[in-house]
């Protein structure tokens, strides 16, 4: 019975990061757990938004980054891993959106978490032609700073408004159309 339970849990782990309906929580003491996915981003009313935590780290390939660099722009923070099936689908779509909006006051930042080697993350970025920067956060420290949203599920995406407040949160895979809709709405705010 114990082997059967272990096998079922193993299958659930494999299925969780390849499905669009669930995301895998990777920062709860090193164990995985499933959280419900949010299939579309609901924009949080401006009066109800909380400030995003400040964070910093090292970019993939080297160089320092601070969240202060996002000031004044709308920002899309995407928590991903090269090992994550839904990330392989959404990241190239994020690149397409980024290419269209980067000159409109929108910044994208990937946050690579729980990666066993920076080389895997760099190969992922190269394979999909990703031009926006990514932090290398193998221990998930930045994700933990956002644990209230919950960025500890992979993939997760958080949209920040120009005042560095959390405007929308996704757990699970994000469609390009929905991300564009949310960005248009947040960019349209005065």
Q: What CATH number is attached to the domain comprising 168?
A: 3.40.30.10
| Residue 90 in this model has a pLDDT that exceeds 90 | yes
Using alpha carbons, select from 77, 50, 86 the residue that is nearest to residue 179. Answer: 77
Domain count, the chain: 1
- Binned at pLDDT 50, 70 and 90, residue 38 comes out as low
Better-predicted residue by pLDDT, 83 or 28: 83
Domain of 122 in residue numbering reads as 2-187
Strand bridging mode 22-28 / 156-160: unpaired
- Binned at pLDDT 50, 70 and 90, residue 19 comes out as very low
Which pair of structure tokens corresponds to residue 5? 């339970």
Q: What share of the chain is helix, strand, coil (3-state, %, to 5)?
A: 35, 30, 35
Which pair of structure tokens corresponds to residue 144? 């933990």
pLDDT at 16: 38
- Cβ pair 70, 160 in contact under 8 A: yes
Cα-based distances in Å from 106 to 25, 91, 102, 135, 143:
27, 16, 5, 17, 21
CA distance 155 to 2: 30
């Amino acid at each position: 019975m114990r082997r059967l339970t272990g096998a079922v849990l193993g299958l659930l782990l494999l299925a969780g990061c390849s499905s669009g309906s669930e995301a895998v929580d990777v920062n709860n003491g090193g164990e995985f757990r499933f959280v419900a996915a949010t299939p579309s981003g609901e924009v949080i009313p401006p009066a109800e938004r909380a400030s995003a935590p400040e964070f910093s780290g090292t970019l993939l390939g080297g160089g320092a980054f601070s969240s202060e660099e996002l000031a004044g722009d709308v920002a899309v923070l995407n928590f991903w891993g090269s090992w994550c099936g839904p990330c392989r689908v959404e990241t190239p779509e994020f690149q397409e959106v980024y290419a269209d909006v980067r000159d409109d006051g929108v910044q994208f930042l990937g946050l690579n978490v729980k990666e066993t080697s920076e080389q895997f993350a760099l190969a992922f970025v190269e394979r999909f032609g990703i031009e926006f920067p990514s932090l290398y956060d193998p221990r998930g420290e930045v994700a933990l700073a956002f644990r209230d949203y919950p960025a500890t599920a992979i993939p997760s995406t958080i949209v920040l408004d120009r005042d560095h407040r959390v405007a929308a949160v996704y757990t699970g895979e994000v469609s390009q159309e929905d991300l564009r809709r949310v960005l248009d709405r947040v960019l349209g705010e005065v």
